[in-house]
Structure 1
């Protein structure tokens, strides 16, 4: 089970991206739990996920999230082009690459 957390300003703007990532994971027969939360809600979930991916609009909070993760999991900013295109395949591929 791959647990992926997307963080955005309000937890809502990435919902389409989450759905596209879930669809791609299903195509690949990858068991996954993918959700989007706001930065404030992320602190409650960070200990139970495999990776945190920040929307480009909250990239300035990367250090705060990395401090929360304390090196336990990868934390990355979603590529702006992939985010803008809502490219669930590219974002999922990057998540899986970083999870290892």
Structure 2
């Protein structure tokens, strides 16, 4: 059994306690929360990949290759490159978070 300590505002705590008191099966509830987060991460990853594909097509380069060059200082700091690198970092972060939840 797991006991959680959450650092939330009193109103949020009250709403969460009310919700938990209405849940018949806390195991199923917890699994559904995790499944929802996994779903949201997968959806976010898909959207990021679509955004990255636009840059890859525009610059004829895979995001992994671009990011490596960007990190090494080979690519300049133009606005497109800053956005592209940020999107790629978000993709990597989301993939890591997804892997931790599965």
Q: TM-score, normalised by structure 1?
A: 0.25
Q: TM-score, normalised by structure 2?
A: 0.25
| Structure possessing the higher radius of gyration over alpha carbons | 2
Between Structure 1 and Structure 2, the one with more strand by share is 1
